[in-house]
Amino acid sequence: MKYTPFEIIAKKRDGNNLSEAEIAFFLSEYLKETIPDYQMAALLMAVYFRGMNEEELKALVDLMIHSGETIDLSEIPGFKVDKHSTGGVGDKISIVLAPLVASTGVPVPMISGRGLGHTGGTLDKLEAIPGYRTHLTVDEFKNILRKCGLSMMGQTEKIVPADRRLYALRSATATINSIPLVAGSIMSKKIAEGIQGLVLDVKTGHGAFFPDPNDAVRLGQTLKSVGQQAGLRTEAFITNMDQPLGFAIGNWLEIVESVNCLRGNGPKDVMDVTYLLARWMLILSGIVSDEKSAQTILEDKISSGAAYEKFLENVELQHGNPKIFENMDQFPLPPPIEIRAQRTGFVQEANAFELGMVSVITGAGRNRMEDQVDPGAGILMRKKIGDYVKQDEVLALLYTNLPDSEAMEMRIQDALLIGEEKKNPNRLIQGRITPKGVEQIPL
Ligand code: URA
């Protein structure tokens, strides 16, 4: 071995910068499994506390991209554009947005992730659809994209294997919320997938990995600059994650809500964020030059059913069974447990972090890297911040196949603060990230 793993861990632990050769050594030996998870976890924790400078981040992103193959989509016509979120609770935006944008003729190749920490993951949600496959070869990924303009897969042993391994390890070792680690993870996947444009949804608020808006802006600026340096047209937006997006938290529950969005009956907050990001995907692709024209096209694709048809087409091509959507109630859910209001008043807080954690505990997420998720587990909220509730009214339904549901019920009660005064939620769409900060968006 050229170095010893512990000297590199100690160097970062003590606040020094790592050379490209040191990062390359650590990552490649980890992928060869000569460096074990516990040493990588120690390095990740050192990076979490000490950060990385620009050169280290550049090296990390490049090494992660080239830890596997990259996808060449040049033979597929059109400007390929994708979206990624920094992670939220009830954040099912990709499942609605990808078919919506693809239905306008703009190709959407998407490499997504699984649940991370307290947040859900697009892959776990899609896999709740019976038969749906997210583990695709590059050829399958391209063929599906060519056929329906939309393809969704996860990291594999061949495509960004470094993120595949690190993602699961970070999720289980509380080393997610580090700007260089998030930037390495997101941007390596996105650059490797062969896109030309990228729209980023950077979350802030209770349920975000970076609750402080200043940190979220710094993350957004870092992501945007890595994307631009790689030659991608990149835009980033700050959106609020104090409370879950929509009402559903959990894999199948979120698929149902996504389908309702695609059928034109989605919750307003989910649709607002979906439309914002989709508008900018259309602008980046060059098919429109302003948000108003983009909005008109997108609304038409929802109301005409074209976006929903595109989703069904994708489900079929990825081996899912679209028949399940003819009667979504046939999906076997655990019996719901009602969580009732203990007093009358207004919902003042619906803490997204806490609700995300409870959703993990219901079985919808993972405590350990090797855990399987339960597709039917999760929480269905009935109320949002600002809603009036009467004592004993149902606030949420809890779905779990695991014992100890009383502890989960209590945690949900604690996450929902009810008080006399009506409080409005923080602004959902906070603006577009620029080198100077955040710019308000007119629409
Ligand atoms: N999404 C990712 O893909 N990676 C992260 O680290 C956070 C959100």
Q: Side chain identity at 119, as an amino acid letter?
A: T
pLDDT (0 to 100) of residue 80 = 98
Contacts of 375 (CB under 8 A, 6+ apart): 124, 127, 128, 251, 252
In this predicted structure, the answer to whether residue 238 has a pLDDT above a threshold of 90 is yes
* Alpha carbon of 141 to ligand 1 centroid (Å): 21
What digits encode the pLDDT tens for the residues 288-304?
999 999 999 999 999 99
Confidence of residue 94 (pLDDT cuts 50, 70, 90): very high
- The whole-angstrom separation of Cα 93 and Cα 255 is 10
Encode 380-399 in three state secondary structure.
EECCCCCCEECCCCEEEEEE
What digits encode the pLDDT tens for the residues 407-423?
999 999 999 999 999 99
Active site residue 133: no
Which of these is catalytic: 125, 189, 224, 233?
189
In this predicted structure, the answer to whether residue 187 has a pLDDT above a threshold of 90 is yes
In this predicted structure, the answer to whether residue 1 has a pLDDT above a threshold of 80 is no
| Pocket perturbation via mutation, ligand 1, pick of 110, 112, 116, 134 by most ligand atoms within 8 A of CB | 116
- The whole-angstrom separation of Cα 175 and Cα 169 is 8
Instruction: Specify the residue for token string 């030659």.
Output: 231
Give the whole-number percent of the chain exceeding pLDDT 70.
100
Active site residue 366: no
Nearest protein Cα to ligand 1, atom 8 = 86
pLDDT (0 to 100) of residue 2 = 86
pLDDT (0 to 100) of residue 440 = 83
pLDDT (0 to 100) of residue 368 = 80
- The whole-angstrom separation of Cα 144 and Cα 164 is 22
| Of 39, 110, 35, residue with least CA distance to 73 | 110
pTM for the model stands at 0.96
pLDDT (0 to 100) of residue 367 = 86
Q: Which atom of ligand 1 is nearest to the CA of 184?
A: 6
pLDDT (0 to 100) of residue 233 = 98
Active site residue 135: no
| Of 45, 115, 106, residue with least CA distance to 87 | 115
In this predicted structure, the answer to whether residue 269 has a pLDDT above a threshold of 90 is yes
Average pLDDT of every residue of the chain: 96
| Pocket perturbation via mutation, ligand 1, pick of 60, 82, 114, 167 by most ligand atoms within 8 A of CB | 167
Confidence of residue 369 (pLDDT cuts 50, 70, 90): confident
What digits encode the pLDDT tens for the residues 36-55?
999 999 999 999 999 999 99
Q: Does residue 324 contact residue 127 with C-beta atoms inside 8 Å?
A: no
| Of 223, 133, 146, 209, residue with least CA distance to 174 | 209
Q: Which residue ranges form the domains of the chain, and what is each CATH number?
A: 5-51 (1.20.970.10), 81-326+431-439 (3.40.1030.10), 332-419 (3.90.1170.30)
Active site residue 189: yes
Nearest protein Cα to ligand 1, atom 1 = 86
Q: Does residue 154 contact residue 114 with C-beta atoms inside 8 Å?
A: yes
Q: Which atom of ligand 1 is nearest to the CA of 182?
A: 6
Active site residue 66: no
Q: Which atom of ligand 1 is nearest to the CA of 176?
A: 6
What digits encode the pLDDT tens for the residues 132-158?
999 999 999 999 999 999 999 999 999
In this predicted structure, the answer to whether residue 199 has a pLDDT above a threshold of 80 is yes
Give the other-Cβ count within 10 Å of 440's Cβ. 9
The mean per-residue pLDDT over the stretch 52-72 comes to 97
Q: Does residue 426 contact residue 205 with C-beta atoms inside 8 Å?
A: yes
H-assigned helices in 334-415: 352-359, 405-415
In this predicted structure, the answer to whether residue 404 has a pLDDT above a threshold of 80 is yes
